[in-house]
Amino acid sequence: MTSLLHASKFAALFTIFLSASISLAQSETSVAQSTDPATECTDYNYAPVDNEIANFPPLWQPADIVPTDTVALALWNSIEPGVPNIAPRGTITGNETGVVYDGATDPDCWWTATQCTVPKLSGLPADISGVPEPNTLGYGFDDGPNCSHNAFYDYLTEQNQKATMFYIGSSVMIWPLQAQRALNDGHEICVHTWSHRYMTSFNNTGAFAELYYTMQMIKLATGVTPTCWRPPFGDVDDRIRYIAHALNLTTVIWKYDSFDWEVGLNGITQATVDANYQNLVNNATAGAFSTAGVIMLTHELNNFTMSEAVTWYPQLKSAFKNIVPINVALNRTHPYVETNYTVPTFAQYVSGTLTTSSNGSASSTSSGSSGLQSPKSGQSGSGSIRTMSTGISASVLALAAGVVLMAL
């Protein structure tokens, strides 16, 4: 991966962030129902998040442990002694100039160098790079929540289709009600780090913070704490896996890449992305996944990536026997730390039970979870109005903008 690739993707993510207008309050209902991007992407105030901003790293800035966060520090101190002695490599933007690594022996199972998914460090589980169920697509999208995702999520609802959403902590902080919609619609939520940088470039506390604070922000916004994560750009090694595993996070990679986010770079065009989707369809039709299923990398990044997902969904549905969220394919019925929230088994899902209630009882509704965990005190539930007098301020936006300019 090159710095140019990272900068372009990060710029696209930040463009979504900057599309917000300042200091206009919204309701969760209006955020979930509007399909006008100008309305969807209007900034709003949400007390549970606004009141906790000081306890999280700055938006889009590479994370580290907040000095006053005694809970995070105590947890890190319990994890640190076991972290393998593997040095950070490259930069947060993916510049690997001068990095020397023996790809032949691949001592650290560095995915970026070798696509290794079976750790060399004893005691670590293998990455999830496919799904065990035959003729099955583990369906998911990176880089959300996108503030203008309603038309896409509406389409998934119309198709009775659930997916796994890999959310960036900084995006959840800006768009908490969009994150709530994912859970209310019955999608699974996983971690995609705080600032979307190359994880193996971080020191130990930075890598911990990128994961930990994203988990905490998702909990703050939605009421659930994920137990799965995906490294941006797939950049993970055994040091990062160890930290993630210590945080009870399963590492999820992929085998097929749509390259949907890369359009406009290195000669990648829409035709390239279409060809990548078609290749997956052709392989599925030819029986390549007759013994085990597959995961393809796709994104909620922008209108193009979401439109491509909609365009190709009918072909994917025809080519695969089943399209299911990743945790469903793995029969992980408790995808969150909060064990009262359950998702269906694979057998339940493919027979029509798309969600289950918070106490585990089955429900064949297609429009969302029938029993979310009760929000924490002060947090709004589905459809409620939540406003406050102060929101994410222009000064926070300006700070984040300055950080981005320095990072690109």
Q: Which residues are catalytic?
A: 142, 299
Closest CA to 20 of 195, 134, 147: 147
Closest CA to 380 of 28, 33, 30: 28
Buried-exposed string 35-58: b where 16+ CB fall within 10 A, e elsewhere: eebebbbbbbbbbbbbeeeeebbb
Q: Give the 3-state secondary structure of 292-350.
A: CCEEEECECCCHHHHHHHHHHHHHHHHHCCEEEEHHHHCCCCCCECCCCCCCCCHHHHH
Buried-exposed string 173-193: b where 16+ CB fall within 10 A, e elsewhere: bbbbbbbbbbbbbbbbbbbbb
Alpha helical stretches, state H, 229-302: 238-246, 270-285
CA distances to 29, 134, 260, 372 from 223, rounded to whole Å, are: 18, 33, 31, 8
Two structure tokens written together for 113: 């160098």
Sort 87 into a burial class: Cβ within 10 Å, 0-12 / 13-18 / 19+.
Answer: exposed
What is the radius of gyration, based on Cα positions, of the chain? 20
8 A C-beta contact, residue 97 and residue 105: no
Beta bridge partners of 324: 138
8 A C-beta contact, residue 322 and residue 32: no
229/103 Cα distance (integer angstroms): 25
| Token pair 């001592």: residue | 107
